[in-house]
Structure 1
Amino acid sequence: MTASTATHSAPRVAKKAKTATTRAKPKKMPAHPPEVISPNNDQYDEHRFEIEMVTVGDQEVRVGRQRGNGKGVPLFMFNGIGGNIELLSAVAAWMPEREVITFDVPGVGHSPLPKRPYSLRTMADLAAGILDHYEHDQADIFGISWGGGAAQQFVRTHPDRCRRLVLCATSMGMIMMPSHPSVALKMATPRRYMNKGYAQQVSGDIYGGDCRNNPGLVATLFKHVHWQSRKGYYLQVMALIGWTSFHWLHKIKQPTLIMAGFDDPLVPVLNARMMNRLIPNSELEMFDCGHLFLMTRPEASSKALSEFLDRA
């Protein structure tokens, strides 16, 4: 286990799936954009991913795919709570050669609400079904925040289908170093997604880092949120209740990159250090930022990701 510091910082699917939108040409990234996302440096692209509605079992989900150059295994990304496909477009844009697959969790973005509550195991099986749809036997698995729990569960449930694992701004679930109660209370409600003024008011307290220094930054990020419903948000919260990976993290065999921000009020950095100690073949990459470093500093994040994933 090593640590480094970034100073710049399942059921098989139905064979036929309904296809919708988008084949618009993605935006070309500027040669040397400012490092931090801002209103004048919005690197998010609503058309970065090709969008397809895919049915896995009895659940239809909205899937986004960046085709890449067709070489190597794809990068499958689990998003954070309330996060839709488009919020991962900026970091994907810095890796245009890599195939990237992500999806809107049922009840989030434009994926229909599920018929019943689900668990992280359900999400792992759903992801496996999406990989089946694209005829991929294996992928590099990535999870940010809430999605980090889903990524860990995927490795637990489908170990042979994960080549490398990336855990970003996340924890071991119920057994973790918790955030301050005031931060947890703000996260317990989706109000920030529904009220722009409130989002700017609390973003520094929740996310820290760049959002603490520039509360207006959240307006740039959240304009790409495709909000659906309170029910979808609370279903994600419920999926974490009682779940922890603490007792089996030591069994993960895949090379694992743990990414964390020094100033993360939501998932204190001690969580990343604990996971680094528990996962045998893991390394820790720290960023001089907060919970949303992947989204506010996509260039630096993508460099760390690519360097790790490209190793033989």
Structure 2
Amino acid sequence: MMDVGGRRLRVAHWRLDEPSDHPPMLFFNGIGANIEAVAPLAEMLTERGFVMFDMPGTGESPDPTLPYNPFTMCWTAAQILGRLGIELVDVMGVSWGGAMAQHFALQHPGRTRRLVLTATTAGMLMVPGNPAALTKMADPRRYIDPEFMNEHFATLYGGVDKDGAAHQKDSHIGRLKPPSPRGYFYQLIAMLGWTSLPALPFMNKEVLIMMGDDDQIVPLVNGKILASAIRNSRLEIIEGGGHLFLLTHADESVAALREFLDAPSTEAELSRAA
């Protein structure tokens, strides 16, 4: 637990005390998700440090007293990095957290090397997903009811066949802890009216956009919109991947991440570092 930015937050980090040729990864989670949901990804990226935290009212972080917005939470994330002695990071976000990752890179360009946007959008200016999936997404039973998750996993997330849904449910739901009602509501309203689209043409980072072509919540076209707006970006499409392709297609996802993050620095990056 860390008291930072006027909030008490649960922070997790991996391998920060180990030597590495790579900057650590700062990760922003999806809405309502706790640290454990993405811990397997952190454990697979063994060659680099990894930092993430539970948003207020999710996981083990206490409920927020006041609402927050992307600016204040990205400022708080920068304070966490400072407390951990980290100057430069690669930034990654999934879904709701992808919007936070975009905002962090725009708000703190000096602390951001590269950016990875996963199953996400430019904010309010987005193409909505399958109404059936969005309706079930709002149902709190997806956090606590294995039968509900087993029945609706494919509708919720896509990217798995009917036989594979039960296995993925067992793996995923065992790591989830439901957010508090206030925590979930504050995450929803944090992004009201927010969009990165006007600022994206000015993004001067190397950006990897990863999307699943069977995502029922964030359709692939949103990734194409991001790619068209960010000049130094590339779009990686996970074939058969749904909203949770980081879980269902873990090996393929990690391979794409490593290829992008470990590529030699560009002239623009070297110039900015100088």
TM-score, normalising length: structure 2:
0.90
Unaligned segments of structure 1, at least 5 residues: 1-52
Q: Does structure 1 residue 248 correspond to structure 2 residue 199?
A: yes
Structure 1 residue 179: Cα displacement? 1.0
Structure 1 residue 183: Cα displacement? 2.3
1:304 to 252, 256, 267: 256
> What CA distance in whole angstroms lies between the structure 2 residues aligned with 1:185 and 1:121?
29
Secondary structure at the counterpart of residue 160 of structure 2: helix
Q: Which moved more, 1:130-139 or 1:190-199?
A: 190-199
What is the one-letter code of the residue matched to 2:207? Answer: T
Secondary structure at the counterpart of residue 196 of structure 2: coil
Q: Does structure 1 residue 154 correspond to structure 2 residue 104?
A: yes
Q: Does structure 1 residue 101 correspond to structure 2 residue 54?
A: no
> Is the Cα–Cα contact under 8 Å of residues 92 and 302 in structure 1 kept in the other structure?
no
Secondary structure at the counterpart of residue 285 of structure 1: strand
Secondary structure at the counterpart of residue 165 of structure 2: coil
2:219 to 250, 268, 273: 268
Q: CA RMSD in A?
A: 1.5
Structure 1 residue 172: Cα displacement? 0.7
> What CA distance in whole angstroms lies between the structure 1 residues aligned with 2:162 and 2:102?
29
Report what 1:42 is aligned to: none
> What CA distance in whole angstroms lies between the structure 2 residues aligned with 1:185 and 1:284?
28
Report what 1:220 is aligned to: 171
Report what 1:259 is aligned to: 210
Report what 2:9 is aligned to: 61
Secondary structure at the counterpart of residue 117 of structure 2: strand
What is the one-letter code of the residue matched to 1:307? Answer: E
> Is the Cα–Cα contact under 8 Å of residues 133 and 157 in structure 2 kept in the other structure?
no
1:70 to 19, 22, 29: 19
> What CA distance in whole angstroms lies between the structure 2 residues aligned with 1:110 and 1:280?
38
Identity of aligned residues (%): 40
> Is the Cα–Cα contact under 8 Å of residues 272 and 284 in structure 1 kept in the other structure?
yes
> Is the Cα–Cα contact under 8 Å of residues 120 and 240 in structure 1 kept in the other structure?
yes
Secondary structure at the counterpart of residue 215 of structure 1: helix
Structure 1 residue 250: Cα displacement? 0.8
Report what 1:286 is aligned to: 237
What is the one-letter code of the residue matched to 1:219? Answer: D
> Is the Cα–Cα contact under 8 Å of residues 15 and 48 in structure 2 kept in the other structure?
yes
TM-score, normalising length: structure 1:
0.80
Report what 1:163 is aligned to: 113
Secondary structure at the counterpart of residue 132 of structure 1: helix
> What CA distance in whole angstroms lies between the structure 2 residues aligned with 1:297 and 1:189?
25
Report what 2:30 is aligned to: 80
> Is the Cα–Cα contact under 8 Å of residues 211 and 218 in structure 1 kept in the other structure?
no
Secondary structure at the counterpart of residue 209 of structure 1: coil
Describe how 1:108-187 pairs up with structure 2 within 5 A.
Answer: 108-187=58-137
> What CA distance in whole angstroms lies between the structure 1 residues aligned with 2:204 and 2:61?
32
Secondary structure at the counterpart of residue 284 of structure 1: strand
Report what 2:271 is aligned to: none
Structure 1 residue 222: Cα displacement? 0.9
What is the one-letter code of the residue matched to 1:60? Answer: R
Q: Number of matched residues? A: 260
Unaligned segments of structure 2, at least 5 residues: 265-274
Structure 1 residue 163: Cα displacement? 0.4
Higher helix fraction: Structure 1 or Structure 2? 2
Structure 1 residue 228: Cα displacement? 3.8
Are residues 259 and 307 of structure 1, via their aligned partners in 2, closer, same or farther at CA, if it must alter by over 3 Å? Answer: same
Secondary structure at the counterpart of residue 10 of structure 2: strand
Are residues 303 and 236 of structure 1, via their aligned partners in 2, closer, same or farther at CA, if it must alter by over 3 Å? Answer: same
Report what 1:24 is aligned to: none
Runs of 4+ aligned residues of structure 1 deviating over 6 Å after TM superposition are none
> What CA distance in whole angstroms lies between the structure 2 residues aligned with 1:232 and 1:177?
25
